Structure 1
């Protein structure tokens, strides 16, 4: 169980030891933080028609608000997230949140489409702060609560993604798209202050230059088969997720459905199933059954594609969406909980490697949907989704890695923390 200490812990009493435990209040605060930050990357999607009219721009230009925001996020994963292994994390997080708030405020006042595109790119870069918050939370957590902590934070993140489009549409209806980004700027500014006040102060781990820090991400990937397996499974999982959600609107707008964009948008609410399963999935890691549970969840994804083949039967489509969301998000939570068995000194770079692969897999899945649906329709999408899931299951069946090696990537880590009762050591189990 997560400690029920009433205080957030840490900041008022100086530095805290890694592995000393994390309070329920702090976990919930960090979960809320993840949701607020990630939502900034999804507000633009339902606002594109309004942006096109308000800024007198073409659909292609306003579409860059989404595209370059995502590219900015990828850039932040590579260039900023590894800094969590080098710098004191609380000042780094506060700085990134402050820049995020400034960019959002400027976006609310953007005079044209190009300034808005540039500012939302900055929002994408700084939004990767969530990938510093999550490994920091696992560093604070005891080993027996790490999975539950990851699951709770992922619940907040997924709800942020799920609700962002709804909130953006409501605020746009109330006033305009500018209000959306103004409110977001205020929320992130308040969050930056709260983080400064309540986030524990973990010690920095100096001893490596920034260029070597970035280069060591590659060393971790090449030297750690356990990490590569998690990266491949995560990429395939998010790939089939994006394959479904990119092709689904195309299928629902065609016969026999012919749904409007507003009705199609309601299908996004089915994603709540994935958010609801995040915390229970994290507990499976804490119980030591993560590997077996991953296989079950991959099997659930395969069942989802079988259901989705009945594309002309709406109940089967809905059931398939629900089941696939549960499977994909469950695998993702377990992957993250398992990779944080690596030593605290390298967890930010582990996050960079895993989330970059996850992100690239999703991008490939979306691109596949755009290519497959016009040529082979919904059956082709379901066939490829099933084949990709089969590959993931094959990786699981042949997986002999149950955790990081006992001496996980010593050359890639900065000067290690002194051994002590609060410093977790690498794990070799599930």
Structure 2
């Protein structure tokens, strides 16, 4: 930990990351309610989380790089205005088409937490960088998983629209807090916005370890999206459980997310290759468990814990790797990584909905296992060219 990064600021960014990123996932436990209200198929309603994730990818591409050029306070002012308007639009959407458009802009504006991760990487020293990233990621992951619990409960008792209304109020309060408490950082990049965006391509072309990290992250998040997109349908169709029970399973994922600080410290001690292999094996084990125990609550709970823990280990290891290089461009480097990450998530959402509709839960589980196995394959195929080490 650096003297430039106090624990109070670190935990503020951690909490804020969780609250903002939660906007991306409120819709998942509510998909069945949306199916009923709009009278569409499960495949059609999957366009809502798909649009949200695609919007997030575009936000990463066009908003996050500004962290290397524009003051973080100015970015927050613009971003929260768009976020609040998008949440309001979702809460009053009268058609599925309007909800999909609103969801895209919710995703676009919710890329904000990815400014916090490079920020703590910049303010931390080499010895404490893994721990700092782990703490922020812990908040972000708990937000992802806790959002499903919250939206499931609110959806059950007040309807899916109420969740977006509550999120609007929450974002207004968070904006006020960040304006007063978040330290102002002035970046050093002096070029134009267009040259800033063009430079992203330079880092993508010249950093093979960054490309591999983005590929690993995209595949990992594709597998996680396969699970969470189809899980609510499994709960409804095979257990006859409403959105509150489906969302409550996020609690089991939080168990894994609470280990983010430990994972961050492990990355300060162990080499990256070992951490990547470890995370991939966890993901594969989780899908084997889900395949054989998918229709038992105990098996599902265990699978949720392991799949989220495995994804967490992979994600933090990837970020510690990319932030160890190019300190002057951490936001742009993070953009490359996270765009690949969420494109993978969008692909996983699409493939998961297709697998569920045509092959059921066993087809979903096989798909998740194959995606996880592919992470290990690309690691062994491309790793010698990138020479990933503890410091790379």
Instruction: Check conservation: 1:45, 1:66, Cα contact below 8 A.
Output: yes
Deviations 1:299-341 (A, max 9, x none): 2222223333324673444433322221112111111122111
1:40 has 2:23 as partner: yes
Equivalent residue for 2:342? 359
Query: How far, CA to CA, are the matches of 2:308 and 2:196 in structure 1?
Result: 35
1:81 has 2:64 as partner: yes
Equivalent residue for 1:296? 278
Q: TM-score, normalised by structure 2?
A: 0.85
Query: How far, CA to CA, are the matches of 1:221 and 1:215 in structure 2?
Result: 10
Instruction: Check conservation: 1:301, 1:323, Cα contact below 8 A.
Output: yes
- Displacement, 1:58? 4.2
Instruction: Check conservation: 1:246, 1:369, Cα contact below 8 A.
Output: yes
- Displacement, 1:295? 1.5
1:392 has 2:375 as partner: yes
Q: Among 291, 295, 298, which residue is 1:309 paired with? A: 291
Equivalent residue for 1:138? 121
Instruction: Check conservation: 2:282, 2:307, Cα contact below 8 A.
Output: yes
Flag structure 2 segments of 5+ consecutive residues without an equivalent. Answer: none
Equivalent residue for 2:190? 207
Instruction: Check conservation: 2:130, 2:267, Cα contact below 8 A.
Output: yes
Query: How far, CA to CA, are the matches of 1:51 and 1:383 in structure 2?
Result: 27
- Displacement, 1:258? 4.2
Query: How far, CA to CA, are the matches of 1:323 and 1:81 in structure 2?
Result: 30
- Displacement, 1:49? 6.1
Instruction: Check conservation: 1:94, 1:195, Cα contact below 8 A.
Output: no
- Displacement, 1:228? 1.1
Equivalent residue for 2:253? 271
Equivalent residue for 1:220? 203
**Are residues 298 and 219 of structure 1, via their aligned partners in 2, closer, same or farther at CA, if it must alter by over 3 Å?**
same
Residues matched between the structures, number: 385
Q: Name the SS of the counterpart of 1:142 in structure 2.
A: coil
Instruction: Check conservation: 2:57, 2:338, Cα contact below 8 A.
Output: no
Structure 1, 309-318 or 193-202: larger mean CA deviation: 309-318
1:153 has 2:136 as partner: yes
Equivalent residue for 2:241? 260
Equivalent residue for 1:186? 169
Instruction: Check conservation: 1:282, 1:333, Cα contact below 8 A.
Output: yes
Equivalent residue for 2:267? 285
Query: How far, CA to CA, are the matches of 2:193 and 2:294 in structure 1?
Result: 54
1:321 has 2:304 as partner: yes
| Bigger CA radius of gyration | 1
CA RMSD of aligned residues (A): 3.1
**Are residues 251 and 39 of structure 1, via their aligned partners in 2, closer, same or farther at CA, if it must alter by over 3 Å?**
closer
Q: Name the SS of the counterpart of 1:144 in structure 2.
A: coil
Q: TM-score, normalised by structure 1?
A: 0.78
Flag structure 1 segments of 5+ consecutive residues without an equivalent. Answer: 3-18, 405-427
Q: Stretches of 4+ moved more than 6 A in 1?
A: 60-63
1:429 has 2:387 as partner: no
Query: How far, CA to CA, are the matches of 1:84 and 1:320 in structure 2?
Result: 37
- Displacement, 1:346? 1.2
Structure 1, 383-392 or 295-304: larger mean CA deviation: 383-392
**Are residues 388 and 356 of structure 1, via their aligned partners in 2, closer, same or farther at CA, if it must alter by over 3 Å?**
same
Query: How far, CA to CA, are the matches of 1:147 and 1:373 in structure 2?
Result: 37
Equivalent residue for 2:221? 238
Instruction: Check conservation: 2:58, 2:339, Cα contact below 8 A.
Output: no
Q: Of Structure 1 and Structure 2, which has the larger fraction of its residues in helix?
A: 2
Deviations 1:24-77 (A, max 9, x none): 111111111111111222233444566678xx7444787655443333222212
Deviations 1:80-109 (A, max 9, x none): 11111221223212331233234435655x
**Are residues 327 and 46 of structure 1, via their aligned partners in 2, closer, same or farther at CA, if it must alter by over 3 Å?**
closer
**Are residues 103 and 364 of structure 1, via their aligned partners in 2, closer, same or farther at CA, if it must alter by over 3 Å?**
closer
Structure 1, 381-390 or 59-68: larger mean CA deviation: 59-68
Query: How far, CA to CA, are the matches of 1:312 and 1:82 in structure 2?
Result: 41
Query: How far, CA to CA, are the matches of 1:389 and 1:275 in structure 2?
Result: 19
Instruction: Check conservation: 2:53, 2:342, Cα contact below 8 A.
Output: no
Q: Name the SS of the counterpart of 1:200 in structure 2.
A: coil
Query: How far, CA to CA, are the matches of 1:222 and 1:258 in structure 2?
Result: 48
